[in-house]
Amino acid sequence: MSKVKLSTNKTVRPFIYCYTTPNDISHNGWCKIGYTEDDVLTRIKKQTHTSDTEVKLEWYSVALFDNGETFTDKQFHLYLNKLGIVQKSGHEWFQIDPNKAKQ
């Protein structure tokens, strides 16, 4: 009888990402900053596929500190809040230039 080898753990690569929605005037000047352990484009499509929203992926990056530890969008959001960046209440939308957010 052959042995069955099960793997219950999968290696994940966490990403932080930023996108804008150029055809949605309610989000002019705002960008969405999120986190995923999936493919970034797949995650964004899950969020926007039924809204007929044009999406512009501004940037994405592995969500790692310089010391190799991971971080989440919530931690990044808190950092932006500390900098005084305006956040839509209860949402992941920030009034910040995407390039500035990347820095």
pLDDT for the residue 72: 94
- Which residues contact residue 101 at a Cβ distance below 8 angstroms, ignoring those fewer than 6 apart? 18, 31, 33, 58, 80, 85, 94
Residues 43, 97: Cα–Cα separation, whole Å: 21
- Interval 38-92: pLDDT, tens: 999 999 999 998 888 899 999 999 999 999 999 999 999 999 999 999 999 889 9
Residues 32, 60: Cα–Cα separation, whole Å: 11
Average pLDDT for 3-32:
86
pLDDT for the residue 53: 87
- Neighbouring C-beta atoms of residue 24, cutoff 10 Å: 15
Which pTM does this prediction carry? 0.85
Contact 71, 62 (CB under 8 A): no
Residue 20 has pLDDT above 80, yes or no: yes
pLDDT for the residue 13: 87
Average pLDDT for 13-21:
95
Average pLDDT for 4-31:
86
Torsion sign over Cα 88, 89, 93, 96: positive
